[in-house]
Amino acid sequence: MKLAIFISGRGSNMKSIVQACENGTCPAEVVLVLSNNPQAQGLVFARSKGIQTCVVNHKDFKTKEAFEESILDAIDGIDIDIICLAGFMRILSAHFIDLCPCDSIINIHPSLLPAYKGLNTHQRALDDGKKETGCSVHFVTAELDAGDVIVQKTVPVKDGDTAEKLALRVLEQEHKAYPEAISLLAKRAHIDSPHIDSHCK
Ligand code: GRF
């Protein structure tokens, strides 16, 4: 199964997927890492692994439509079964999701969906006095953070937690949840996707 991973920054989830593919625990191959941020740290890791990378900077476009068209152009011709959003800080439109040639788009979200869609999930969980929180890998649909969940992992909220401490504890589980979700999808029905030449450098 061929994966494109979209990132915007650190890329630790991308790294965990690449490593799980390398050590054989995840039956997939990362064929592209795309970022909307030319400075994304994760790009450095991807390049060091010889993975094809591509930058489509949203700031270079006047409209979301033009930005997304450019992403579609960038992935056109690359054999991709699944797009994995991993800390990709742009919301993809229904138009992009419809036009995307791959089988599925999936995302990792730092909460136990359907709780805490959107941003600042850890602070919101703390403010609500939650005793546990976690992360979810889910299908991406036109509605934000609302697609079916593939894998969830829970973590305890501890006394004295801050949003930062909680984020680190959840992140450890994210690094397990994402490769697990991809492995589950790889076991699904046979995926058929076109082979065309790549445009990305
Ligand atoms: C993760 O916590 C992810 O759940 C959220 O953004 C963060 C990205 O981290 N959407 P990284 O770039 O994968 O290190």
Distance 9 CA to ligand 1 centre (A): 8
Banded pLDDT at 101 (limits 50, 70, 90): confident
Is the pTM for the entire model greater than 0.85? yes
- Please give the pLDDT value at position 105: 98
Tell me the C-alpha distance between 183 and 47, whole Å. Answer: 24
Q: Which of 58, 109, 195, 199 is catalytic?
A: 109
State how many domains the chain has. Answer: 1
- Please give the pLDDT value at position 201: 32
- Whether residue 197 is predicted with pLDDT greater than 70 in this model: the reply is no
Q: For residue 181, what is the domain's CATH number?
A: 3.40.50.170
Distance 127 CA to ligand 1 centre (A): 21
Looking from the CA of residue 107, the nearest atom of ligand 1 is 10
Are the beta carbons of 36 and 159 closer than 8 angstroms?
no
Average pLDDT over residues 14-29: 97
The model's pLDDT over 103-158, given as tens digits with 9 standing for 90+, comes to 899 999 999 999 999 999 999 999 999 999 999 999 999 999 999 999 999 999 99
Distance 174 CA to ligand 1 centre (A): 8
Q: What is the DSSP string of 14-53?
A: HHHHHHHHHTTSS--EEEEEEES-TT-HHHHHHHHTT--E
- Whether residue 193 is predicted with pLDDT greater than 80 in this model: the reply is no
Question: What is the distance, to the nearest Å, from the Cα of residue 48 to the centroid of all Cα atoms in its chain?
Answer: 20
Question: What is the distance, to the nearest Å, from the Cα of residue 174 to the centroid of all Cα atoms in its chain?
Answer: 11
Q: What is the residue range of 31's domain?
A: 2-197
Looking from the CA of residue 135, the nearest atom of ligand 1 is 4
Looking from the CA of residue 11, the nearest atom of ligand 1 is 12
Closest C-alpha among 59, 62, 83, 87 to residue 193: 83
| C-beta neighbour count of 57 within 10 angstroms | 13
